[in-house]
Structure 1
Amino acid sequence: MTATTTTRTVPGGEPSALGPLARFRDLVAAEWIKHRSLRSTWIAYGAAALAVVGFNAGIAYDSYSHWTPGDRAPFERDGIALQEAFTANAAMLMALALGAIGALVTVGEYSTGTNRTTFAAVPARRSVVAAKAVVVTVVTTVFGMVVAGVSFAVTQAILDLRDAGVSIGDPGAFRVVLASALLAPVCALAGLALGVVVRHTASTMVTSVAVLLVLPLFLTDGRHWSAVAGHALPYRAWLRLVDVNYSPTAFPWTIGGAWTVYAVWACAACAIAVISVHRRDQ
């Protein structure tokens, strides 16, 4: 059994073999090597992790240091321990950082011109981008799980000093951790897709911030169209998932709907990235 080869016609009309086609697992391995070989990538991951965990821990410590005996009843009634396990500002920070990291996976190559080398070696552009998406998904999912898990453990350990922490088995706790963890790959894939479409570093970053952070802040639940548009965004989906004591609004939505938003954004980002790269010249 022989490996499949590609051919091209050289001057003179004779076909010339280019060698065996790259297997998808080989492309994934190559993208993983590129991803892990950049020191700046791991610096970005480390800085984002420290910032997110530190922000959450700081909020929990503030509650601990300013604790009064009368705080316990509202603290437990309002589920503040879970709110401080992963705060809204920390989620916005992670969305911004992971969107930027996902975008740089592609725009970094376009800005340096190494994408031409990659596509010359592997003309199957869709497969290359799909391999990038696989690597980004796996790495950022692990990143999200570690950051969300550490944030939960640290914040609840601090609150336990006032006997106010919760465990992962308490109602809603696991959902808060999982929703916070999966926000990372969703935003990273959105950044990846924007990088493939826009292809300019500054423009991609501005667009990423606008889509992931600015737009959710402008949309409210006060009007139907605004509520529907807001519910379709990852950050607003995260807010719904971590709201353990959810009170229905004029335009309520479900936990299942919020998980669906996560899934649709991830799948749509991958599809847009793969389709776009095939339709562009470089």
Structure 2
Amino acid sequence: MSATTLSPVRPGGTRPADPRPRFADLLAAEWIKLRSLRSTYWVLALASLAAIAINLNAVHTDLTYIDHPPAPVPGFPPYRYDPLYHGLNSISAALMAVAAGSLGAITVFGEYTTGMIRTTFAAVPDRRGVAAAKVVLIAGLTSLAGAVVSAASFFGSNAMLASRHVGLSLTDEGCLGAVLGYAAIVPVCALIGMALGALLRHATASIVSLVMLLLIVPMMFGGDRYRLLKEIGNHLPLAAEVRLTFNPNSSTTMGKYAPSVLDSWITLGAWAAVALTVTVVLMRRRDV
């Protein structure tokens, strides 16, 4: 005859509450959700491969111009190839930023649009823990993707340039900061996408808002004519990435009112902190 074990009953006829899930359990649950939607992480993986290919192809195409540089123009300094500008170019950075931001947005608005968020919060009433698990998972995955793209682009492009004696080393001035900044823009934009997903809770609205913020809005704050507009533009995410990857030994300049390297790092940190706060607060307080 088997015995049945019952939970101890407190005075008054109530049983103790179930133990709170560990943070590792919440991370595992979020990983299962993400892994079950193959299209989400495939977007990030394909964007990473495309970004590396764009950077390496840009440098490979430039080898002809390095072997046969243009004739010097009177009144201008002689042509000097910039491996950072070409090997860590802004097109790939924008591609990775949009892909990571879309992934971040999907992980949030996807559950709201399908109604699965109700099941999640029913199983785990600790909304702050759920939001934190989502943030840690997406930030970790996109940080890894950003690091792979940045390192592969830098070392791959400079390996091709080594035979032309114009390549750079990671220990050269500005190179380590450029590689780190190029990698950092990816998780920062992922967090921005999560904040937009939590705020708008709609697929089209979130993705369109992300693209406008990253690619369209900066067009309104270019040029050096008005300092206030330029200062605002300098504190947008991709503008900070451009400053961090700027070669201090380049023959070109960033124009007037260029931010410092420290300012750009603070800008990325501020965007990440605000996006993280918005995501956690909205998921915790707003009705489902």
1:106 deviates by 0.9
Aligned length: 271
SS of structure 2 residue aligned to 1:20: coil
Q: Which amino acid aligns with 1:198?
A: L
Q: Which residue number in structure 2 is paired with residue 160 of structure 1?
A: 162
Give the alignment partner of residue 106 of structure 1, picking from 105, 108, 116: 108
CA distance in 1, matches of 2:147, 2:78: 26
> Displacement of 1:229 after TM fit?
1.4
Please list, as runs of the form range in 1=range in 2, the aligned pairs for 1:108-257 lying within 5 A after superposition: 108-220=110-222, 221-245=224-248, 247=253, 249-257=255-263
Pairwise CA distance, 1:224: 2.2
TM-score, normalised relative to structure 2: 0.86
- Please give the per-residue CA displacement for 1:36-83, whole angstroms capped at 9, x wherever unaligned: 343223311221111101111111011013433436999997551111
| Identity percentage of aligned residues | 36
Q: Distance in 2 between matches of 1:92 and 1:273?
A: 22
Write out per-residue CA displacement over residues 4-45 of structure 1, whole angstroms, 9 at most, x where no aligned residue: xxxxxxxxx975655111222321232223223432233112
Q: Which consecutive residues of structure 1, in runs of 5 or more, have no partner in the other structure?
A: 1-12
Amino acid at match of 1:223: Y
Deviation at 1:250, TM superposition (A): 3.5
Give the Cα–Cα distance (whole angstroms) in 2 for the partners of residues 187 and 134 of structure 1: 14
- Shift of residue 164 of structure 1? 2.3
- Larger mean CA deviation between 41-50 and 155-164 belongs to 155-164
Counterpart-to-counterpart distance in 1, 2:246 and 2:204: 34
The 2-side partners of 1:213 and 1:16 are apart by 55
Q: For 2:207 and 2:37, how far apart are their aligned partners in 1?
A: 19
CA contact (8 A) 1:35 1:105 kept: yes
- Aligned partners of 1:76 and 1:118: how far apart in 2? 62
Distance across 2 between alignment mates of 1:269 and 1:50: 26
Structure 2 match to 1:93 = 95
* CA distance in structure 2 between the aligned counterparts of 1:248 and 1:107, rounded to whole angstroms: 38
- Does residue 26 of structure 2 align to residue 33 of structure 1? no
**Structure 1 residues 197 and 160: alpha-carbon distance in aligned structure 2, compared to 1, 3 A threshold:** same
- The runs of 5 or more residues in structure 2 that have no matched partner are 1-11
The secondary structure found in structure 1 opposite 2:18 is strand
Q: Deviations over 1:86-141 (max 9, x none)?
A: 10111111111111111111112122221111011111212211111011111111
